[in-house]
Chain A
Amino acid sequence: MRDGRGQVRRKVGLRLWLSAGWLTLLLLAALLAPWISPKDPLAQDLFLGRLPPFWMAGTEPGYWLGTDSLGRDVLSRILHGTRVAMTVALVAGTITCVIGAVLGLLAGFLRGWVDIVISRLIDIWMAFPPVLFSILLIAVIGPGLWSIILAIVVIDWTRFARVVRAEAMGQGAMDYVASAQVAGRGRMGTMLVEILPNVLPTIIVLLTLEMGIAVIVEAILSFVNLSISTDDPTWGGMIAEGRTSVHQAWWVLVFPLITLFLTVLSFSQLGEGLKDRFDPVLR
């Protein structure tokens, strides 16, 4: 059906552009936060506490999205919170992806005892409630940016490992692999040159998904006060504060929440858009 296909193509493009646009905006915000923030995110002024956003009555000029209980500017804090969020997303997402994908490839292609060990490990890992495990890890290692990144990697590598393992197993059974091996390529070589390119699209889609998850995990950890060790604002921390004063100053919760929501949505829609792009049927 001509029209149906045409419509799908258009939607795919729109989704990709919108999500990529938002994420680029965030990256810029993260890089330029100190220069584009209207106020100092850490500056407290109890006389200016709980000011509503600019379109409501009783607010002060310059505090576009209002202030929290301690008088700190919400907008500036959100902009600065972007730094933590983006760092965690990119770094934790990538490391998790690499470690998980490598283990998955090894397990799926080499099979044998390598597969048995890794699969057992995955089973054990998946018997842990992820949030609890990450909270536990942070409590053990102590808070900090790298602790969060480590926690995310440790709890979520299984996501990649399982999927990549299944794909590698499927690919490994295919004829082109047998031909390659007959032609004399070693096992490692086969894995890297023949299988990896075919598994790559799946990995990339999962990577974007993982970045969204990383942002959420950081937010949750901030929410339970186990995130970074400094006073730097985080979206999760703002949400935690906002939760407690939700009846008196809803904006303290709403704006970081919207930002978080749009970010997570963008990451996953980016993944979906990429997946559609990679799908040979649609191409």
Chain B
Amino acid sequence: MSFLEVRNLSARVRGAPDRLLRDVSLSVAPGEVRGLVGESGAGKSMIGKAVLGILPRAVEVLCGEILLGGTDLLRLPPAERRRRIGATCALIPQDPLTALNPSRRIGPQMTDRLVDILGWTRAKADARARDLLAEVQIADPDRVLRQYPHELSGGMRQRVLIASAFAAEPKLIVADEPTTALDVTVQKEVLRLIAGMQARHGTALLFVTHDLGVVSKVCQSLSVLYAGMVVEDTTVRDFFRAPAHPYARALLAATPKYTDPDRSLVPVAQDVLDGVQAQVDAADRGWRNG
């Protein structure tokens, strides 16, 4: 029984002829870590945003269902949808430099949802924040809680954001390329933290990334996207052993390997791209006629 189930989700920019998301289906079981992979513009971020209810105003959902714990979010009234998402989900954002409100201290930004939405007492919320900061290995949590975002480094801010995501003990966290904006040296550490916390708290994780290396380390299953369409949906083990779809295979082949630094980079071949594009076009034709 999955916690998150997306069924046949299609979306597009208002007034645009082509869809942004083409009949996307995926599921995430409780405690499962699923990767959402694809090149830039493939729509992986959009899916995460659709689930969390933060799609840009310009984007409209055409059809499909987003089931959270069995209830279709898209059929709920807006206030109820917001509340449900706020209570059971969380976001680990991409850019730590812009994801924290510069005018507010760290503490309130971590605890506000607990106090305002979930009704916790201030004391309980503060204690929780302190524990979480310790969990992401921030020394002197009391001091950090009183500081402003600009007083912290990028890496520290990302840790704060990770900790905040786990604050309300969510059932699902959407991690939107959480390591992309960081230095390579910090990436590994942050990944370790996320994986560790996920394991400890047992939270389901939808991990959006373009980096297959990250997927191999953290995820149990993955969905590969091309132009808003899911072209492969499998376990990580099966994927890295033998991906089914030609595009997915080409992606894997294109990933640089540390173990073989002298091997030349292999871009995705044109015929593979043509093949997957033909698949997309066919889907569009079917959509228009159906």
Q: Scoring A residues 106 to 119 as 1 if CB is less than 8 Å from chain B, else 0, what string do you get?
A: 00000000000000
Give the chain B neighbours of A2 by CB distance below 8 A.
Answer: 15
Residue A56 interfacial (CB < 8 Å): no
Q: How far is the CB of B18 from chain A (nearest CB, A)?
A: 14
Residue A175 interfacial (CB < 8 Å): no
Q: Scoring B residues 2 to 40 as 1 if CB is less than 8 Å from chain A, else 0, what string do you get?
A: 000000000000110000000000000000000000000
What's the Cα separation between A3 and B58 when bound, in Å?
12
What's the Cα separation between A2 and B14 when bound, in Å?
9
Residue A1 interfacial (CB < 8 Å): yes
Give the chain A neighbours of B14 by CB distance below 8 A.
Answer: 1
What's the Cα separation between A3 and B15 when bound, in Å?
8
Q: How far is the CB of B176 from chain A (nearest CB, A)?
A: 25
- From DSSP, what is the main secondary structure of chain B's interface residues? loop
What's the Cα separation between A123 and B39 when bound, in Å?
54
Across the interface, name the chain B residue whose C-beta is closest to A1.
Answer: B15
Give the chain A neighbours of B15 by CB distance below 8 A.
Answer: 1-3
Q: Scoring B residues 29 to 62 as 1 if CB is less than 8 Å from chain A, else 0, what string do you get?
A: 0000000000000000000000000000010000
B residues 50-98 near A (Cβ < 8 Å) are: 58
Across the interface, name the chain B residue whose C-beta is closest to A2.
Answer: B15
Q: How far is the CB of A1 from chain B (nearest CB, A)?
A: 6
Give the chain A neighbours of B58 by CB distance below 8 A.
Answer: 1
Across the interface, name the chain B residue whose C-beta is closest to A3.
Answer: B15
What's the Cα separation between A196 and B220 when bound, in Å?
62
Give the chain B neighbours of A3 by CB distance below 8 A.
Answer: 15
What's the Cα separation between A2 and B15 when bound, in Å?
7
Across the interface, name the chain A residue whose C-beta is closest to B13.
Answer: A1
Q: How far is the CB of A2 from chain B (nearest CB, A)?
A: 5
A residues 1-59 near B (Cβ < 8 Å) are: 1-3
Q: How far is the CB of B247 from chain A (nearest CB, A)?
A: 31
A residues 192-236 near B (Cβ < 8 Å) are: none
Q: How far is the CB of A30 from chain B (nearest CB, A)?
A: 47
What's the Cα separation between A3 and B13 when bound, in Å?
13
What's the Cα separation between A209 and B204 when bound, in Å?
59
Q: How far is the CB of B76 from chain A (nearest CB, A)?
A: 27
Q: Scoring A residues 138 to 152 as 1 if CB is less than 8 Å from chain B, else 0, what string do you get?
A: 000000000000000
Q: How far is the CB of A4 from chain B (nearest CB, A)?
A: 9
What's the Cα separation between A1 and B16 when bound, in Å?
8
What's the Cα separation between A3 and B14 when bound, in Å?
10
Q: Scoring A residues 146 to 181 as 1 if CB is less than 8 Å from chain B, else 0, what string do you get?
A: 000000000000000000000000000000000000
Q: How far is the CB of A254 from chain B (nearest CB, A)?
A: 44
What's the Cα separation between A1 and B15 when bound, in Å?
7
Give the chain B neighbours of A1 by CB distance below 8 A.
Answer: 14-15, 58
Q: How far is the CB of B289 from chain A (nearest CB, A)?
A: 24
What's the Cα separation between A2 and B58 when bound, in Å?
12
What's the Cα separation between A2 and B16 when bound, in Å?
9
What's the Cα separation between A77 and B15 when bound, in Å?
54
Q: How far is the CB of B31 from chain A (nearest CB, A)?
A: 41
What's the Cα separation between A71 and B15 when bound, in Å?
62
Q: How far is the CB of A6 from chain B (nearest CB, A)?
A: 11
Q: How far is the CB of A208 from chain B (nearest CB, A)?
A: 34
Across the interface, name the chain B residue whose C-beta is closest to A4.
Answer: B15
What's the Cα separation between A154 and B113 when bound, in Å?
57
What's the Cα separation between A3 and B16 when bound, in Å?
11
Q: How far is the CB of A152 from chain B (nearest CB, A)?
A: 43
What's the Cα separation between A59 and B15 when bound, in Å?
59
Q: How far is the CB of A195 from chain B (nearest CB, A)?
A: 34
What's the Cα separation between A1 and B14 when bound, in Å?
7
What's the Cα separation between A106 and B15 when bound, in Å?
48
What's the Cα separation between A189 and B31 when bound, in Å?
69
What's the Cα separation between A186 and B14 when bound, in Å?
52
Across the interface, name the chain A residue whose C-beta is closest to B14.
Answer: A1
What's the Cα separation between A52 and B263 when bound, in Å?
95
A residues 50-82 near B (Cβ < 8 Å) are: none
Q: How far is the CB of A231 from chain B (nearest CB, A)?
A: 61
What's the Cα separation between A251 and B58 when bound, in Å?
50
Q: How far is the CB of A10 from chain B (nearest CB, A)?
A: 17
What's the Cα separation between A93 and B58 when bound, in Å?
43
What's the Cα separation between A189 and B147 when bound, in Å?
52
Show 5 residue pairs from A and B whose CB-CB distance is below 8 angstroms, ordered by the A residue. A1-B14, A1-B15, A1-B58, A2-B15, A3-B15
B contacts, CB < 8 Å to A:
14-15, 58
The 5 closest A-B pairs by CB, nearest first: A2-B15, A1-B15, A1-B14, A3-B15, A1-B58
